[in-house]
């Protein structure tokens, strides 16, 4: 497995202590350990956090290559949208423990439907950006011990209306393969209450 993840001289390195390896090598060893049982599903929680961009790219490439070799599915948990764009096929956007949007990666980046997803994407700096200041999402995430009623994003949402403060929006599908939890989307698409109930029951990952 050490050879598979690109560790040079694995016969010698297998006897090394962690402090004798670089950060990138330790991450590779961690990936090798995780894949050694050939899991059907690998859950990688922030696998590239605290790595410099060069090592980060190596680890991501390694995970993708190993996925092909071992045949595992990968659930990647990250706050880095650049990593999401590079690696993921399907994306679940979560906020304070709630699923806000589910979409294929191209749909999510090209047509984000939830105000939180839109805010995250607008906050990314771009080379062709002509703005003087980057966009931000005002406010901060709520205290988990004191979550807001209704839509958990409503204290920070520029589109919040009255029922957002009291009723939690269901996860509905405004178009095939995209799921959104937002009253505004429900209103725009004119989804009636029967359709909401039906789609909310069938919705994937409706936690």
Chain contacts with ligand SF4 (rule: CB under 6 A): 115, 151, 153-154, 157, 159-160, 164, 169, 182-184
Measured from the CB atom, the residue of 13 and 159 that comes closer to ligand SF4 is: 159
Minimum distance from residue 100 beta carbon to ligand SF4 (Å): 7
Measured from the CB atom, the residue of 28 and 154 that comes closer to ligand SF4 is: 154
Measured from the CB atom, the residue of 60 and 157 that comes closer to ligand SF4 is: 157
Measured from the CB atom, the residue of 58 and 199 that comes closer to ligand SF4 is: 199
Minimum distance from residue 113 beta carbon to ligand SF4 (Å): 10
Cα separations (Å) of 148 from 95, 144, 145, 155, 165? 12, 9, 10, 8, 8
Q: What is the 3-state secondary structure (H, E, C) of the chain?
A: CCCCCCCCCHHHHCCCCHHHCCHHHHHHHHHHHHHCCCCCEEEEECCCCCCCHHHHHHHHHHHHHHHHHHCCEEEEECCCHHHHHHHCCEEEEEECCEEEEEEEHHHHHHCCCCHHHHHHHHCCCCCCCCCCCCCCCCCCCCCCCCCCCCCCCHHHCCCCCHHHHCCCCCEEEEECCEEEECHHHHHHHCCCHHHHHHHHHHCCCCC
Minimum distance from residue 82 beta carbon to ligand SF4 (Å): 24
Phi, psi of 192 (to 5 degrees): -85, 170
Measured from the CB atom, the residue of 108 and 151 that comes closer to ligand SF4 is: 151
Minimum distance from residue 170 beta carbon to ligand SF4 (Å): 10
Minimum distance from residue 194 beta carbon to ligand SF4 (Å): 20
Measured from the CB atom, the residue of 27 and 153 that comes closer to ligand SF4 is: 153
Minimum distance from residue 153 beta carbon to ligand SF4 (Å): 5
């Amino acid at each position: 497995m050490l050879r598979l993840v690109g560790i040079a001289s694995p016969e010698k390195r297998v006897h090394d202590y962690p402090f004798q390896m670089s950060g990138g090598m330790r991450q590779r060893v961690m990936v090798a350990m995780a894949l050694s049982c050939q899991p059907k599903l690998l859950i990688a929680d922030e696998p590239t956090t605290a790595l410099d961009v060069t090592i980060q790219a190596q680890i991501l490439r390694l995970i993708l290559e190993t996925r092909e070799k071992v045949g595992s599915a990968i659930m990647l948990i990250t706050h880095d949208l650049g990593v999401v764009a590079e690696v993921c096929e399907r994306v679940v956007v979560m906020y304070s423990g709630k699923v806000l949007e589910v979409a294929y990666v191209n749909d999510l980046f090209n047509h984000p439907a939830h105000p939180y997803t839109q805010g995250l994407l607008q906050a990314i700096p771009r080379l062709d950006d002509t703005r003087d200041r980057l966009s931000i999402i005002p406010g901060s995430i709520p205290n988990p011990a004191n979550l807001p009623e209704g839509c958990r994003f409503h204290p920070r949402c520029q589109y919040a209306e009255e029922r957002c403060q009291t009723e939690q929006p269901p996860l509905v599908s405004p178009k095939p393969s995209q799921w959104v939890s937002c009253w505004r989307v429900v209103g725009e698409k004119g989804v009636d209450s029967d359709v909401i109930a039906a789609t909310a029951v069938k919705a994937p990952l409706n936690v």
